[in-house]
Amino acid sequence: MNTIEKYLLQNPAHIKEFSKRAYSYESYNIIQKEVARKLVCKISSKPKRILDIGCGSGEIFKNIHWQTKLFVGVDLSKAMCKLHPKHEGVEIICADFEDKKLYRGLEKFAPFDLVISSSALQWAKDIDKVFFKLSSLGEHWLFGIFCNKTFKTISKITSVPSILPNSKDVIDCAKKYKNCQFETIEYRLFFQDNLSKFRYIKKSGVSGGEKKLNYLQTKNLIKNYPLPYLEFEVLYISSI
């Protein structure tokens, strides 16, 4: 086996790596930004009426390079909603995307040319119901969803199961409502040391477990975590 073949086996095409130089203490959403960028890159048309579920501070909107007629963003965090860019034709709604009342309000804007969501739908308590509601608001979907292979080594070491969804379960749900294409990408983000990794986990908003580790467990994990990188799994869903 030659050197190139060895590299391809160790670095399959579905794994994207970010060097430790990409990370800084001021940037705790590197992967989320990459997900938003990739989603917008998948858009070949220029939809004029867009609904962004879990819009945050506006990563999707900031990546759009064409003029929209209506952009509706929904996010539960008031702080994030305040940070989202405000322009004519931009409506920001501070609400839980699983709230039934939200969808009654969104109906007045429907139909949307595109329903998009970056790094948010993994927190749905019932993603099947969310997909059902979103299916009536627009024909085309574009989602990026973190799945349970995110921080998989940490889950294995600590025996703390991930609260993130299984990608197969999400795919099965999506297929009930739309004819979609699916792509799973695993990301690796490299760090200088283990302490930096766990500082990133704490501040990035991507949690791999529901159960909190005690002080000794955390200390042991920081000391003995075997990889130079953190793992992320993102499922991309597209019906465009």
Identify any residues that bridge with 52 across adjacent strands, giving them in sequence order: 73, 116
Which strand (E) or helix (H) includes residue 75? strand 70-75
Is there a contact between 127 and 201 (Cβ–Cβ < 8 Å)? Answer: no
d(Cα 24, Cα 26) in Å, to the nearest integer? 5
User: What predicted TM-score, i.e. pTM, was given to this entire model?
Assistant: 0.88
Q: 3-class SS at 142?
A: strand
> What pLDDT is recorded for position 183?
97
Which strand (E) or helix (H) includes residue 12? none
Domain boundaries, the chain: 27-149+162-188+231-238
Please enumerate in sequence order all residues whose Cβ is within 8 A of that of 240, keeping only pairs 6 or more positions apart, or say none. Answer: 42, 43, 44, 45, 114, 140, 141, 142
Report CA 66 to chain centroid distance, whole Å.
23
SS (H, E, C) 181-209: EEEEEEEEEECCCHHHHHHHHHHHCCCCC
3.30.70.890, 3.40.50.150, 3.40.190.10, 1.10.260.40: CATH of 27-149+162-188+231-238: 3.40.50.150
d(Cα 59, Cα 160) in Å, to the nearest integer? 31
> What pLDDT is recorded for position 18?
65
> What pLDDT is recorded for position 55?
97
> What pLDDT is recorded for position 186?
96
Q: What is the mean pLDDT of each run of 10 residues along the chain (240 residues)?
A: 39 59 58 96 96 97 96 96 94 97 96 98 97 96 97 89 95 97 95 87 66 77 91 96
